[in-house]
Amino acid sequence: MVFYYKGCDSVFIGEEPIHIAAGADIAEIVVFPGDPLRAKYIAQNFLENATLVTNIRNMSGYTGMYKGKKVTVMGSGMGMPSASIYTFELIHYFNVKKIIRIGTCGAVNPNIEIGDILLSSKVYSESNFAYTYNNYPKYVVNANEFLNEILLKIAAAKNIKLHLGMLTTMDVFGPYIDYERVLKRIPKEYDILGEEMEAFGIIHVANSLGVEATCMATVVDSKYSKVVLTPEERETTLNDMITLALEAIIK
């Protein structure tokens, strides 16, 4: 069967997802780390009765309970192409209503320190992702204000420092290039706090399909610091951000 879907002008063939197990028990609310091992860590340490519901290409997704609410936590992979695939399939095939990305990023602002948590109000990208996806001509997407308000209130109540501001999503891993070239091309009116690789794509697909989505990212490297968290630290020492996402997604 050939069918069209809202939010994009493409044609898809088939009625089942390709990258998530068909019939998987996916909740309507999703916490979305990039790393499938981080999804496993969250499922094992934060959810009750968590079950592995999809593992195609080892992109693990778990569904369990958090404070009496059904929640799915699933990896998105690295970069907008991967993250956008899973975002679309979660929404289109599984009727997901809310997505909070939790990831890592590099700081590009001197007021941001290693270990700080950034919350996207908007995301800038010079990528053609959105134009290719559905002819969206702009380079900025807006995160969901309702989710952000909840996250800010919970962070204040728990005395967790949370920076609300603009992120930039790049097509390459920043530390491996001279990303000063990219930063210099960003319009001066945009005060960028951090750079990462997925938020723009996730938020754009969600916005196009009428779903609430935002992004949090813990700073793990900075152009202003020589401190860099190890892969193990990245996987396991992001508990404040995980807690914020889970508390907000169930509201």
Q: What is the pLDDT of residues 139-190, one digit of tens each?
A: 999 999 999 999 999 999 999 999 999 999 999 988 888 878 888 899 999 9
Q: How far apart are CA 129 and CA 125, in angstroms?
A: 9
Instruction: State the CATH number of the domain containing residue 146.
Output: 3.40.50.1580
**Residues labelled as active-site residues:** 221
CB 139 within 8 A of CB 124: yes
What is the value of pTM for the model shown? Answer: 0.92
226 confidence band (pLDDT: 50, 70, 90): confident
* Number of domains the chain is built from: 1
Burial 230-244 (b: 16+ CB within 10 A, else e): eeeebbeebebbbbb
Q: Is the pLDDT of residue 14 over 70?
A: no
Average pLDDT, the chain: 91
Q: What is the pLDDT of residues 35-61, one digit of tens each?
A: 999 999 999 999 999 999 999 999 999
In which domain, by residue range, is 138 found? Answer: 2-249
